[in-house]
């Protein structure tokens, strides 16, 4: 009863069934397109995190058979297997893995995509910070792949969780796209933290060379960071402060630094209020610390010792 009554009340769920979409998310992409016209002149597109496939369906229905010279190329990727769709090339893989990215790039055979979309969402844990972090990593993995396949001027659309640290993601996206807009389609529930970034006019920094070097995403990368140049490598100035007359912090100095003066002990200016070693000090002071007791001597020294 609970489930069917919810189904009846969710208009997009109902409409999706009526119109034959695999998921209600189809309406999110359709509504984004109504607002931003992202399908205009698109013939090559990547759908990241595509299962069960309603976005790929939208792409397939909207881009195919429109008196085009050639069929569009639609490459869909997801961790999950997906039932086939007309005109959609499917890859089952993890978008945070270099191997998946290389497979996607391979399908373009040197050509470039006009549009990359990503509706990626992790299995939510309910721990908001963790969910937001993982979602952000998915988005960055999608952006990384996008830098390899998207043509200059192309569009990138991705799901984003508008959590408290989302401005960092906006700045990262702005490095590659002069126009970044947050879209909240009507079919996306108001109660949900999700929204979509619509990033237009792909313009990587001059000299930028895409690479798969995000160590957060994949530990098997083969980029020599020291060989990166120009905008691919940010060098932060290193400045040594203090001249040679200053003490060397790695050296040990005698207590009596000045031959005229004896060493004078100074207590800490502010001792710790509740040091973690307080109990140990108390036990030691009162001779209550556990002592090493040798119960068994072996040829290997005190291997058989234990604390009493």
List residues near ligand SAM by CB under 6 A.
22-23, 25-26, 49-55, 77-80, 94-96, 119-122, 138
Q: What is the rounded distance in angstroms from the CA atom of residue 119 to the CA atom of residue 29?
A: 9
Q: Between 192 and 298, name the residue whose CB sits nearer to ligand SAM.
A: 192
From the list 8, 159, 179, 256, the catalytic residue is 159
Pairing outcome for strands 306-307 and 73-78? unpaired
Shortest Cβ 128–ligand SAM spacing (Å): 17
Shortest Cβ 292–ligand SAM spacing (Å): 51
Q: Between 10 and 208, name the residue whose CB sits nearer to ligand SAM.
A: 10
Q: Between 137 and 203, name the residue whose CB sits nearer to ligand SAM.
A: 137
* DSSP class of 145: H
C-alpha distances (whole Å) from 234 to each of 65, 208, 231, 241 are 46, 12, 7, 22
Shortest Cβ 200–ligand SAM spacing (Å): 20
Shortest Cβ 178–ligand SAM spacing (Å): 26
The distance between the two most distant Cα atoms of the chain, rounded to a whole number of Å, is 97
Q: Between 23 and 305, name the residue whose CB sits nearer to ligand SAM.
A: 23
Active site annotation includes 159:
yes
Sequence length of the chain is 308
* DSSP class of 298: B
Other beta carbons within 10 angstroms of residue 16's beta carbon come to: 19
C-alpha distances (whole Å) from 22 to each of 10, 49, 256 are 15, 14, 81
Question: Where in the sequence numbering do the catalytic residues fall?
Answer: 159
């Amino acid at each position: 009863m609970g489930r069917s009554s919810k189904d009846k009340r969710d208009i997009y769920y109902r409409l999706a069934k009526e119109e034959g979409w695999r998921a209600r998310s189809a309406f999110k992409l359709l509504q984004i397109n109504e607002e931003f016209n992202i399908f205009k002149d698109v013939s090559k597109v990547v759908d990241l995190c595509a299962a069960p496939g309603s976005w790929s369906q939208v792409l397939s229905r909207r881009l195919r058979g429109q008196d085009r010279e050639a069929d569009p190329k639609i490459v869909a990727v997801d961790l999950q297997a997906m039932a086939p769709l007309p005109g959609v090339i499917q890859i089952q893989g993890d978008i945070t893995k270099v191997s998946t990215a290389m497979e996607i790039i391979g399908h373009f055979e040197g050509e470039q995509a006009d549009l990359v979309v990503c509706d990626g969402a992790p299995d939510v844990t309910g721990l908001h910070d963790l969910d937001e972090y993982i979602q952000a990593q998915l988005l960055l993995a999608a952006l990384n792949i996008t830098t390899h396949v998207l043509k200059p001027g192309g569009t990138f659309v991705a799901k984003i969780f508008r959590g408290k640290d989302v401005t960092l993601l906006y700045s990262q996206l702005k490095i590659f796209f002069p126009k970044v807009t947050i879209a909240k389609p009507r079919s996306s529930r108001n109660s949900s933290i999700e929204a979509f970034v619509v990033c237009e006019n792909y313009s990587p920094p001059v000299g930028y060379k895409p690479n798969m070097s995000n160590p957060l995403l994949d530990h098997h990368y083969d980029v020599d960071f020291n060989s990166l140049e120009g905008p691919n490598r940010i060098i932060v100035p290193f400045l040594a402060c203090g001249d040679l007359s200053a003490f060397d912090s790695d050296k040990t100095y005698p207590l009596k630094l000045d031959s005229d003066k004896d060493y004078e002990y100074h207590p800490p200016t502010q001792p710790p209020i509740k040091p973690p070693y307080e109990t140990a000090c108390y036990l030691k002071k009162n001779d209550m610390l556990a002592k090493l007791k040798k119960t068994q001597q072996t040829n290997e020294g005190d291997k058989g010792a234990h604390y009493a």
